[in-house]
Structure 1
Amino acid sequence: MAQRVVQLVIDAVPNVVTGIGIADGRFTAGVAARQSAGQHAAAAGPVIIGPGPNDTRAFLDPLSVSTLADIADVSGDLIDLFRRLGVRRLGDLAALPAADVLARFGRAGVFAHRIACGGDDRAADAVAPPPELFVTQAFEDPVHLLDPLVFAAKQLAQQLHDLLVANGRVCTRLSVVAETEHGERSEHLWYRPNGLSVAAIVERVRWQFDGWIQQPGGLSGGIVLMRFTPDEVCSDDGSQLGFWGGRTEADEWAARAVARVAGLVGEQQVFVPAWRGGRQPGDAYAWVCIDTADVTEPTERLAVVEAPWPGHLPAPSPATVMAESVPAEVFDAAGHVVRVNGRGVLSAPPHTVSVRGRPAEIIAAWAGPWPIDERWWDSRQHRRMARFQFTTSSGEALLVVVEQQQWWITAVYS
């Protein structure tokens, strides 16, 4: 059959190179199809890789890591880095521990590692759910506030989740519809390739309703109807494929601990960190209530989203950010306080730093300044500062800020 398909394509479009690959995953099948296309037309046939991880690995291991760029769109810069480090074949990459790949290469590296191990680049294709699969909440009294809507959304999401679990399914694309007493309507499709958990649904409902309410003019009436309809579902195979390598046992323990605490004190009293972004280390993450956060998927909540933050510090980020900056004093070699003018020019190189009255420590190395001028248009929130990195003679690495000629310790590197 496969050879017949190839021949039909060749006859219809003789100038197109055609090949067929059959394997467990899209990436492996794509490589096999390319090998099939490279055969002589007269002998062209499908390249079939046997089922199971052993056959897949045996096929992929000898291949060059450049195959990742050709088939899976992995960055050429990452491929060059692999080669410089001696990782030249997919088998070399697959042999590395996933945790080490994550620590060294980040999300893109984990993605490449998963592909090299024979994993797929995304979950299996979703299918349309049965038309009768939906949940609805009608309100006798119109609801005007966001919090009651979010609470009702959580109950609906749990109902839908239970229906899907009973059928061994997970929702990957969900339609959320809301209507007001005056006929206004909000409808949005939410997609998540690994499936929408209850918390993920609630989080997206909050986004949708908050944006709707905050529109110019707001709503003319309260919401009287809310409906969740799965648009795509797929089999729940129990795996959580993610760029960061999926969930760990520690994640499971943490999720259970959070759920237990929430049961004792209430969900509104429990908060978890989530990525928000910002120029300062203390602005990058914020505390969010767990009723709108997916504690079962920390990688999504904590994943760094690339965004234009001019003036932000380069990686690595500090290990500890002070809740309140600690005052410090920085002196030059002559014992004078180091000052920084408006152009970011130092009065003298920093030589010692003293924190909270402790004996001054010699600054073994330093970098900076990195000046920043935030919200210059707002007199109440305007901030102008210069940031430095100090390494002291004791080996401590500090992030130091000078603002209005006052020095502060804002973070510590591990």
Structure 2
Amino acid sequence: MLVLWCPDWPVVAAAATEAVSVTQPAAVFSANRVVACNAVARRGGVRRGMRRREAQSNCPELAVFTADDGRDARLFEAVARAVEGLVVGVEVVRPGLVAVPVAGAAGYFGGEHALVERLVDEVSAAAGVECQVGVAEGLFAATLAARRGEFVEPGRVAEFLATLPITELDQPGADRAELVDLLRRLGLRTLGAFADLPERDVANRFGTTGIFAHRLARGRSERPPLRRRPPPELTLTEEFDPVVERVDVAAFLAKNLATRFCTGLAGHGLACTRLGIYAVTEEGEHLGRVWRCADPLTPTGVADRVRWQFEGWLRAAPGRRPTSGVVRLRLEPEETVEGRSLQLDLWQNGGSEEEDERAARAFVRVQGLLGPEGVVTPLLDGGRDPAGRVRLVPWGDPREHTTPPDATWPGRLPAPSPATVLDRPVPAQVFDADGAAVGITAREQVTAPPAHLSIAGGGRRDVVGWAGPWPAVADRRRPGPQRARLQLLLAGVRDEPPEAVLVHCAGTENPLWTVEGVYD
């Protein structure tokens, strides 16, 4: 397999669209984080995953662009067309990366090195961009070889991969970040170290994702080849009347076509990993492109690739775009795998990957309107305070613990934790059986057993059970009033069941009580 890679393609495409010089540091952002940056920006301290504010602080002259898959695909069509002019069987892996079978073309041009020289010259002349080429057995190894500009001899793929860092498993679109992080924490720093593990142990510890990654680290294909030829009826052909001349119309139609296409495959227990998109225009022009994907395509993935391809066809430069609209579209599964590759997890409760992707896109859209803090997810962190343990993480940020949640944490409230933690504690008063106010002594004990609770100046409710107190501040050297927490079980009102609350007290004399949480 020969892979041609255009480094930092999202940045190259954005800079070309905005007429920004290639010598200026630039980065593409999605959800306020860097998804791609050029070499000049990296020298200035910009890295993938970095927040926009931090990136601009490190590199004040940084040109900022918004991620646009359609733009990337549209401009990359010129590169794919240039490669297709020399080699048959071009497969677009993603905008910025194409793969072609090398055997036949290498023999025609007089060897792999001669073929690579022609490809690099042709892409530079036709598209005006730089590229790197790698040759190896398998798409994964060939992609890593392209990033290093190397030719891996047949039979030496495992040797080539052995010294590479384990982070190479997390390629764009592979979604192996969690697996890679776990492997690094286990001390596996290279692909060779991971490949040396017995496959049975990998399957027991890391599941399906680990098995696929383990095969790649060993220099093998992610999945064994599927010898069964896709039935011809799985090809989906659609006629358009009126003709399709706009990308937004094509994108709208692609959603329904993608669902029908994937449903037909699923009916035969198959999923598509190489998708052929073929079109015929009103003037009889034939257009075609094959997209390769590492993971089986979902309906959303199919619709995205159809939209990207129409971007490349209908918005190409004058002279390269079709002279008329598209009247016929054919989706053909060039390569399939067994459908169990898309088996849902047991605990997804009927959810699907498509629904997860749709929700993620909606979250990112809301963040674009309200900012990164507009969409957050809760994470239970370490700490003593029930409210302080809950940390809100902006959508898209890594959900990593800042403090160990399972540490001892002297003074932490024992289980069970309150089901509801109030954003703003509500003022309250606690009384004993004689109606006197209850406080906390210097030794963090209650001055009298609590018998009644008044919340926000309301009527007194009987306390039928209580537990505590637990000191709210573990560091006794810290200045301030005595603080403690109690769990109170309140008698039900009328026919309501009893209610349990968490209350906090500050001060020995004139104690200040507040309700912090409610138990189910």
Tell me the TM-score range normalised by the shorter chain: 0.3 to 0.5
**TM-score, normalised on structure 1?**
0.43
**TM-score, normalised on structure 2?**
0.35
- The structure with the larger Rg is 2
